[in-house]
């Protein structure tokens, strides 16, 4: 929270920056000042050490003086030795004991008195001549005799007096001969006392080092007798060294901190006086002063930071409000109060700009909302369009439920929500199954509408169509109407006889179908007409083939062959055929799904560019029973076609075991009627077509005839005038119709906009009754 | 070819024509053309015998052609006789009452007897009823 405000960050930065500057400047100043302080401290400490050393010197000199005076006096008054010693000891409290030790000789006093100060202050006495150990053989005595000017001896521990002592020896001379020594004992306690009495700065301590480098006296009694620090001893070894710095003080009381030691050689001895000053103590004053300054500086900086904080806060307060408002804007709220811009500075300009932005934003959002609603509406409409288009397509799977003769699988996958591909299938009558696959030019909504138009028209027109080519022709005419945009649709249409497997295919500029069976897959070469919707006069040829059990007809759109992979390579017909050849079985679902999966694998990663449709029609087997259907044909109304058809009828009827007499009757009736149709049709100069449907029911053969020519009801034709001899009549007419009426067991006629429809029935006896012709009229 | 025509024992007085196959709307033109050749060679008052034993089938177009032949022969004082029509042809003839029954003969013997009878009438009693 603290760092989210510019003001607090700014003041913190100011504080931190100033602190750094202050610390650096303070440190530099401290460094400079501390050198000076050290020099000053050295001077003071050296002076102090000199003063203290001089005082010790003075006290020691008094001891030496007393000793030498006694020695001089003793040379003449050796008899009063004890008295002199007592007197001198009484007067000089520095002394702990005095001895007059004579060299044992004839003319020397017989006793060597030793007077010492007891612990209770009284003076003790003894004759050293009576000591069990002869003193004249002791080392101190011999050394003392050679010390003509008097000298300080090595300190020693007196067992009798239980203390450390040091003595000064002065030679007693008589006639230039050393006859003895005055030996003055000084207690080291005394020396320590002197050190303690010295005026020292607090924390400092003093010591005396003997000639061997051991502490003779020390403010810390525990140090007495120990050897001095090697660094200290090295400094001592170099004459004239006044001070030395020990990085770690030897004295445990100094706590291991660095100390400065100021040395002063004690005159008249080989001792050195030392004053130790802890370094921290030297700098303590200046450090304290600096700490105060720093503290003050810190307080000042805190104050500056606080002022900066307040000033920045106050200056940037509108910014905070703007930030809050901007967050509101982000949440979509645009109605709010803005802070008043007090100055035309950056904040003021920002406030104005913000206000303007908010107004503009509100307008934009309103527009965007409108657009989004519009988009949403379009998307929803597109979604509905997709559903409607999907509803136009029959299911993906169809099994001929009545006789299970065939199975169909169709898949359509639009590239966008709606597309221009189509497929459809439906039954026409009882046994014709119509199937189609098409592809509208272009994509998207126009294509989808055109597709809807095509599929709806195809369904509406199909019942009138006798053949796929007829259906294509009718569809083409319809689609050419008002097709200013020149949209077109390629369409492949097939009509399957669901009983026999006879398939008539016709194509309007569509991809060639593929026929798959155990031998592999091959393209079905079809002569195709123009795509639907372009040329009103287009004609569509047809091809008839007989599906064998297990064969599958594949219809597809160019979405399959033109599917591209990421490198822009197309799937192509070769891959299509290869894929179908590799299929394990010719089951329609397997082929269609497998093909689509293969295309997906091929185009993995690439966007689907075109709608994809695939339809597989698998023929299982022909209808086993020979009942019912025999022929279902649509022919051109021409003599040649009529007679070719008569031959086919004959063959079918014979195959069905229809009796020759009935066969002949049917042939005659059909010939009369169809020839009539051909001749009547010639009147208007149009090309007409004849549809023929022949089937056998239980006790009869039923024939349906359709003709799209002008209405003609044979039932209404006048009966010919039969005189018994045709040659009597001038003009012979109406015979054919008369024969028809006579031979057909039943005849009915109807007419609608599609033309004439005739339904005829020829009684046919059950096989058991065969052998007798039925002659309905005689 | 579903129809063919053979001419036998051609003489100005009597010509026998054998019809084979089907005489229908597709073939009657062939028959008509052939008859245009044959009829002029038949003498006035001659006889044309149409042997129908091999004619499987006839339709109204064929009926018209046969009627034309008979008309043409009658105009020239001749006769047209039909020999041995098969069931379908006979049935068609019956339905439309195409020819008088006395001009249809079941076999060659009947025809010969009839022709002999006719011959006797001509030589004996002179031509009667035939101008």
Residue range A224-234, pLDDT digits in tens: 888 888 888 88
**Could you give the number of structural domains in chain A?**
3
Q: Are residues A8 and A120 in the same domain?
A: yes
Residue B52 lies in a domain: yes
CB of B89 closer than 8 Å to CB of B22:
no
pLDDT at A474: 92
Token representation of residue A247? 């990085």
pLDDT at A772 over 50: no
- Which one of A664, A724, A738 has the shortest CB-CB distance to B57? A664
Q: Which of A262, A283, A301 is the last residue of a domain?
A: A301
Residue B129 lies in a domain: no
pLDDT tier at A2, thresholds 50, 70, 90: low
Q: Do B60 and A664 touch (CB under 8 A)?
A: no
pLDDT at A401: 64
pLDDT at A514 over 90: yes
CB of A513 closer than 8 Å to CB of A496:
no
Average pLDDT over every residue of A292-318: 87
pLDDT tier at A3, thresholds 50, 70, 90: low
Q: Are residues A611 and A661 in the same domain?
A: no
Q: Are residues A451 and A471 in the same domain?
A: yes
Alpha-carbon A236 to chain mean position:
74
Q: Are residues A448 and A474 in the same domain?
A: yes
Q: Do A739 and B96 touch (CB under 8 A)?
A: yes
- Which one of B26, B67, B80 has the shortest CB-CB distance to A732? B67
pLDDT tier at B128, thresholds 50, 70, 90: very low
Average pLDDT over every residue of A363-388: 92
Q: Supply the range of the domain harboring residue A167.
A: 1-301
pLDDT tier at A445, thresholds 50, 70, 90: confident
> Any idea which of A25-29, A67-71, A95-99, A763-767 has the lowest mean pLDDT?
A763-767
pLDDT at A623: 57
Q: Who's near A606: CB < 8 A, 6+ residues apart? A: A563, A564, A565, A566
Q: Are residues A116 and A147 in the same domain?
A: yes
In this predicted complex, what is the ipTM? 0.88
Task: Check residues A768 and A5 and name the one with the higher pLDDT.
Answer: A5
CATH number at residue A454: 3.60.40.10
Burial A684-694 (b: 16+ CB within 10 A, else e): eeeebbbbbbb
Average pLDDT over every residue of A609-616: 91
Residue A338 lies in a domain: no
Residue B76 lies in a domain: yes
Q: Are residues A653 and A747 in the same domain?
A: yes
Token representation of residue A484? 């200013």
Residue B130 lies in a domain: no
Residue A340 lies in a domain: no
> Any idea which of A485-489, A712-716, B64-68, B122-126 has the lowest mean pLDDT?
B122-126
> Degrees (nearest 5) of the Cα angle A451, A453, A458?
95
Average pLDDT over every residue of A749-770: 75
* A256: alpha, beta or left? (left if phi > 0; alpha if psi -120 to 50): left
Q: What is the pLDDT of residues A6-17, one digit of tens each?
A: 788 888 888 899
Q: What is the pLDDT of residues A64-95, one digit of tens each?
A: 888 888 888 888 877 778 888 888 888 888 88
Average pLDDT over every residue of A53-65: 86
Q: Are residues A581 and A652 in the same domain?
A: no
Q: Do A739 and B94 touch (CB under 8 A)?
A: no
Residue A308 lies in a domain: no
pLDDT at B44 over 70: yes
Q: Supply the range of the domain harboring residue B32.
A: 3-124
* A456: alpha, beta or left? (left if phi > 0; alpha if psi -120 to 50): alpha
**Could you give the number of structural domains in chain B?**
1
Strands A421-428 and A397-399: unpaired
How far apart CA A669 and CA A689 sit, in angstroms, is: 18
How far apart CA A650 and CA A655 sit, in angstroms, is: 8
pLDDT tier at A452, thresholds 50, 70, 90: very high
Give chain A's mean pLDDT.
85
Q: Does A720 touch chain B (CB under 8 A)?
A: yes
pLDDT at A472 over 90: yes
Q: Does B55 touch chain A (CB under 8 A)?
A: no
Q: What is the pLDDT of residues A108-164, one digit of tens each?
A: 777 888 888 887 878 888 888 888 888 888 888 888 888 878 888 887 887 777 778
CB of A443 closer than 8 Å to CB of A611:
yes
pLDDT at B131: 36
> Any idea which of A274-283, A377-386, A503-512 has the lowest mean pLDDT?
A274-283
Which of A726, A742, A774 is most worth mutating to test chain B (most B CB atoms within 10 A of its CB)? Answer: A726
pLDDT at A348 over 70: yes
pLDDT at A423 over 90: yes
Q: Are residues A106 and A194 in the same domain?
A: yes
Q: Who's near A327: CB < 8 A, 6+ residues apart? A: none
Q: Do A725 and B64 touch (CB under 8 A)?
A: no
Residue A332 lies in a domain: no
Q: Does A735 touch chain B (CB under 8 A)?
A: yes
CATH number at residue A197: 3.30.450.20
Which of B91, B101, B102 is most worth mutating to test chain A (most A CB atoms within 10 A of its CB)? Answer: B91
Task: Check residues A583 and B63 and name the one with the higher pLDDT.
Answer: B63
Q: Are residues A606 and A668 in the same domain?
A: no
Most confident option among A20-29, A448-457, A631-640, A767-776: A448-457
CB of A99 closer than 8 Å to CB of A182:
yes
Q: Are residues A185 and A292 in the same domain?
A: yes
Return the residue of A nearest to B60 by Cα: A736
CB of A571 closer than 8 Å to CB of A642:
no
Task: Check residues A301 and B1 and name the one with the higher pLDDT.
Answer: A301
pLDDT at A537 over 70: yes
Q: Do A726 and B100 touch (CB under 8 A)?
A: no
Residue A329 lies in a domain: no
Q: Do B95 and A777 touch (CB under 8 A)?
A: yes
3-state secondary structure of B107: coil
pLDDT at A624 over 60: no
Token representation of residue B131? 């101008």
Q: Are residues A406 and A475 in the same domain?
A: yes
Token representation of residue B67? 């009627």
Average pLDDT over every residue of A255-282: 85
pLDDT tier at A775, thresholds 50, 70, 90: very low
CATH number at residue B66: 3.30.750.24
Residue A315 lies in a domain: no
pLDDT at A768 over 60: no
pLDDT tier at A506, thresholds 50, 70, 90: very high
How far apart CA A314 and CA A7 sit, in angstroms, is: 9
Closest CA to A208 of A196, A192, A197: A192
Q: Which of A565, A588, A619 is the last residue of a domain?
A: A619
CATH number at residue A746: 3.30.565.10
pLDDT at B127: 45
Token representation of residue A330? 């982000």
Q: What is the pLDDT of residues A553-578, one digit of tens each?
A: 999 999 999 998 888 899 999 999 99
Q: Do B64 and A732 touch (CB under 8 A)?
A: yes
Give chain B's mean pLDDT.
84
CB of B100 closer than 8 Å to CB of B114:
no
Tokens 């050293």, located at residue: A128
Residues of chain A with pLDDT > 90, as a percent, come to 20
Residue A153 lies in a domain: yes
Q: How far is A674 from chain B (nearest CA, A)?
A: 10
Q: Are residues A567 and A449 in the same domain?
A: yes
Tokens 């030790």, located at residue: A101
Q: Which of A619, A639, A657 is the last residue of a domain?
A: A619
Residue A357 lies in a domain: no
Most confident option among A35-44, A720-729, B82-91: B82-91
Residue B131 lies in a domain: no
Residue B104 lies in a domain: yes
Q: Which residues of chain B make contact with A778, given a CB cutoff of 8 A?
A: 94
């Amino acid at each position: 929270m603290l760092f989210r405000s510019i003001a607090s960050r700014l003041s913190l930065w100011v504080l931190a920056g100033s602190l750094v500057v202050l610390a650096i400047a303070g440190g530099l100043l401290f460094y400079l000042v501390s050198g000076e302080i050290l020099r000053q401290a050295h001077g003071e400490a050296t002076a102090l050490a000199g003063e203290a050393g001089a005082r010790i010197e003075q006290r020691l000199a008094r001891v030496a003086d007393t000793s030498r005076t006694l020695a001089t006096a003793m040379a003449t008054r050796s008899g009063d030795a004890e008295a002199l010693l007592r007197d001198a000891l009484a007067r000089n409290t520095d002394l702990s004991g005095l001895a007059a030790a004579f060299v044992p000789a004839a003319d020397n006093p017989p006793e060597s008195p030793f007077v010492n100060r007891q612990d209770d202050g009284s003076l003790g006495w003894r004759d050293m001549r009576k000591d069990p150990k002869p003193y004249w053989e002791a080392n101190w005595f011999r050394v003392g005799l050679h010390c003509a000017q008097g000298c300080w001896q090595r300190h020693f521990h007196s067992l009798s007096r239980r203390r450390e002592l040091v003595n000064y020896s002065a030679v007693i001379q008589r006639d230039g001969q050393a006859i003895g020594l005055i030996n003055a004992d000084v207690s080291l306690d005394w020396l320590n006392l002197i050190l303690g009495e010295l005026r020292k700065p607090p924390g400092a301590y003093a010591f005396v080092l003997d000639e061997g480098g051991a502490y003779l006296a020390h403010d810390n009694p525990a140090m007495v007798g120990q050897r001095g620090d090697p660094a200290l001893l090295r400094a001592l070894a170099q004459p004239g060294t006044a001070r030395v710095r020990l990085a770690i003080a030897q004295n445990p009381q100094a706590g291991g901190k660095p100390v400065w030691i100021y040395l002063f050689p004690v005159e008249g001895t080989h001792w050195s006086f030392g004053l130790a000053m802890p370094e921290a103590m030297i700098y303590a004053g200046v450090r304290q002063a600096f700490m105060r300054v720093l503290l003050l500086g810190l307080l000042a900086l805190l104050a500056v930071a606080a002022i900066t904080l307040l000033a920045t806060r106050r200056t940037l307060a509108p910014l905070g409000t703007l930030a809050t408002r901007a967050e509101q804007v982000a949440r979509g709220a645009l109605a709010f109060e803005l802070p008043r811009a007090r100055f035309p500075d950056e904040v003021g300009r920002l406030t104005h700009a913000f206000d303007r932005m908010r107004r503009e934003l509100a307008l934009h959002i309103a527009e965007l909302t409108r657009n989004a609603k519009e988009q949403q509406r379009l998307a929803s409409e597109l979604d509905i369009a997709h559903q409607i288009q999907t509803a136009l397509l029959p299911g993906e799977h169809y099994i001929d439920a009545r006789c299970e003769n065939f199975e169909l699988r169709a898949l359509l996958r639009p590239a966008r929500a709606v597309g221009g591909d189509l497929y459809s299938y439906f039954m026409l009558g009882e046994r014709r199954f119509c199937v189609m696959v098409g592809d509208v030019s272009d994509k998207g909504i126009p294509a989808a509408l055109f597709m809807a138009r095509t599929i709806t028209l195809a369904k509406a027109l199909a019942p009138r169509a006798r053949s796929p080519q007829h259906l294509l022709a009718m569809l083409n005419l319809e689609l050419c109407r008002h097709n200013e945009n020149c949209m077109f649709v390629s369409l492949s249409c097939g009509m399957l006889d669901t009983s026999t497997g006879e398939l008539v295919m016709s194509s309007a500029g569509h991809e060639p179908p593929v026929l798959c069976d155990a031998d592999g897959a091959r393209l079905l070469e079809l002569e195709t007409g123009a795509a639907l919707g372009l040329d009103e006069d287009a004609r569509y040829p047809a091809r008839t083939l007989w599906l064998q059990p297990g064969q599958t007809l594949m219809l597809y759109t160019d979405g399959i062959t033109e599917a591209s992979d990421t490198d822009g390579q197309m799937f192509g017909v070769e891959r299509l055929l290869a894929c179908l050849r590799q299929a394990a079985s010719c089951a329609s679902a397997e082929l269609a799904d497998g093909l689509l999966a293969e295309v997906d694998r091929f185009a993995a990663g690439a966007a689907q560019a075109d709608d994809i449709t695939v339809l597989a029609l698998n023929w299982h087997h022909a209808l086993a029973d020979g009942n019912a259907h025999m022929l279902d044909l649509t022919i051109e109304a021409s003599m040649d076609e009529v007679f070719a058809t008569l031959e086919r009828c004959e063959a079918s009827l014979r195959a069905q075991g229809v009796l020759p007499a009935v066969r002949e009757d049917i042939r005659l009736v059909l010939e009369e009627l169809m020839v009539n149709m051909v001749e009547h049709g010639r009147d208007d100069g149009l090309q007409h077509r004849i549809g023929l449907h022949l089937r056998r029911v239980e006790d009869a053969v039923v024939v349906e005839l359709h003709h799209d020519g002008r209405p003609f009801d044979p039932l209404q034709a006048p009966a010919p005038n039969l005189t018994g001899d045709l040659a009597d009549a001038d003009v012979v007419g109406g015979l054919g119709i008369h024969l028809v009426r006579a031979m057909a067991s039943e005849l009915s006629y109807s007419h609608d906009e599609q033309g004439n429809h005739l339904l005829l029935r020829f009684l046919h006896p059950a096989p058991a009754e065969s052998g007798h012709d039925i002659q309905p009229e005689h | 070819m579903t129809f063919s025509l053979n001419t036998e024992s051609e003489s100005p007085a009597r010509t026998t024509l054998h019809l084979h196959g089907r005489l229908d709307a597709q073939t009657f033109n062939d028959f008509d053309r052939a008859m245009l050749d044959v009829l002029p060679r038949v003498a006035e008052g001659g006889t044309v015998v149409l042997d129908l034993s091999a004619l499987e089938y006839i339709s109204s177009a064929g009926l018209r052609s046969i009627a034309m032949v008979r008309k043409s022969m009658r105009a020239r004082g001749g006769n047209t006789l039909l020999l041995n029509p098969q069931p379908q042809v006979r049935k068609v003839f019956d339905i439309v009452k195409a020819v008088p029954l006395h001009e249809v003969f079941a076999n060659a013997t009947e025809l010969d007897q009839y022709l002999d009878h006719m011959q006797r009438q001509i030589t004996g009693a002179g031509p009667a009823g035939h101008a």
